[in-house]
Amino acid sequence: MAVRTTGHIGLRVGDALIVVDLQSDFLPDGRLAVPRGDEVVPLLADCVRRFLAHGLPVFATRDWHPADHCSFQAQGGPWPPHCIAGTPGAAFARDLCLPRAVVIVSKATERDRESYSAFAGTDLAQRLRRAGCTRVFVGGLATEYCVLSTVLDAIDEGLAVVLLVDAVRAVNVQADDGVRALARMTERGASIATVAELPE
Ligand code: VGL
Ligand code: ZN
């Protein structure tokens, strides 16, 4: 898919950054490794720095499962155990560097419920509303699961969404899952940008 981006993007009051699930278990050597997932860590660390420097809110989501979560194969789910709350695998990527101002949103915390979206069962929508956010920039892992669901829910919440296309990576159970997810997001109205298009 040819991806057209928008060129330079100005950051303004009402913008926020959502970093999706940059956790050890999704990085190479993790229990649910996303191919080349490590490549997005420095890019998103840079985004965190830039948004905070502009006085804009930053949210970091994390998959935060109980040890017997329904998405794990032992419970009949599709995934190996991953991101078990409080374990090293659930920790944020070491090089992400999250200052205290970053709001952490834990999701998929209930045993019997899978939720890929950072809006499902969390107060993220309320927090964004309270902070006056109207547009969110989204990057992280994995493109066709938690990034996709979070982006679609953000759109349903009435937010404008900019997907940071170079700061996402896909699992690609089927080879084109990531590409198809990108298409679904843009069809629903998400725009696409690269990290370099953000102001310093
Ligand atoms: C995710 C699969 C299982 C994700 C979470 O963060 O995209 N994918 N749990
Ligand atoms: Zn999960």
pLDDT of residue 1: 47
> At 169, is the secondary structure helix, strand, or coil?
strand
Is the residue at 154 inside a domain? yes
The ligand minimizing its distance to the Cα of 79 is 1
pLDDT in tens, 81-119: 999 999 999 999 999 989 999 999 999 999 999 999 999
Is the residue at 102 inside a domain? yes
For residue 52, count other CB atoms closer than 10 A to its CB: 16
- Write down the residue that tokens 């155990």 correspond to: 81
Ligand 1 closest atom vs CA 26: 6
Is the residue at 100 inside a domain? yes
Task: Pick the residue whose CA is nearest to atom 4 on ligand 1.
Answer: 146
pLDDT of residue 101: 97
Q: What CATH number does the domain containing 126 carry?
A: 3.40.50.850
Round to whole Å and give the CA distance between 141 and 16: 18
**With 0-12 CB in 10 A as exposed, 13-18 as middle and 19+ as buried, what is 49?**
middle
Is the residue at 6 inside a domain? no
- Whether 162 lines ligand 1, by a CB cut-off of 6 Å, is no
0.85 exceeded by the pTM? yes
Is the residue at 146 inside a domain? yes
Contact 118, 107 (CB under 8 A): yes
- Whether 72 lines ligand 1, by a CB cut-off of 6 Å, is no
DSSP letter, residue 85: T
DSSP letter, residue 148: H
Q: Report the run of H or E that residue 163 belongs to, with start and end.
A: strand 160-169
Q: How far is the CA of 114 from the centre of ligand 2 (A)?
A: 7
Round to whole Å and give the CA distance between 52 and 43: 14
Is the residue at 8 inside a domain? no
Domain hosting 183: range is: 15-197
The ligand minimizing its distance to the Cα of 21 is 1
Tens of pLDDT, residue by residue, the chain (200 residues): 456 666 789 999 999 999 999 999 999 999 999 999 999 999 999 999 999 999 999 999 999 999 999 999 999 999 999 999 999 999 999 999 899 999 999 999 999 999 999 999 999 999 999 999 999 999 999 999 999 999 999 999 999 999 999 999 999 999 999 999 999 999 999 999 999 999 98
> At 95, is the secondary structure helix, strand, or coil?
helix
Please count the structural domains in the chain: 1
Is the residue at 2 inside a domain? no
Is the residue at 10 inside a domain? no
- Whether 146 lines ligand 1, by a CB cut-off of 6 Å, is yes
Q: Which of 22, 32, 44, 153 to mutate to test the pocket of ligand 1 (most atoms within 8 A of CB)?
A: 32
146 catalytic? Reply is yes
Residues in Cβ contact with 81 at an 8 Å cutoff, skipping those fewer than 6 apart: 31, 65, 67, 69, 72, 73, 74
Ligand 1 closest atom vs CA 20: 6
Q: How far is the CA of 123 from the centre of ligand 1 (A)?
A: 19
Phi, psi of 75 (to 5 degrees): -100, 10
- Write down the residue that tokens 């191919």 correspond to: 35
Question: What are the start-end ranges of the H helices in the chain?
Answer: 40-53, 124-130, 148-156, 177-187
38 catalytic? Reply is no
95 catalytic? Reply is no
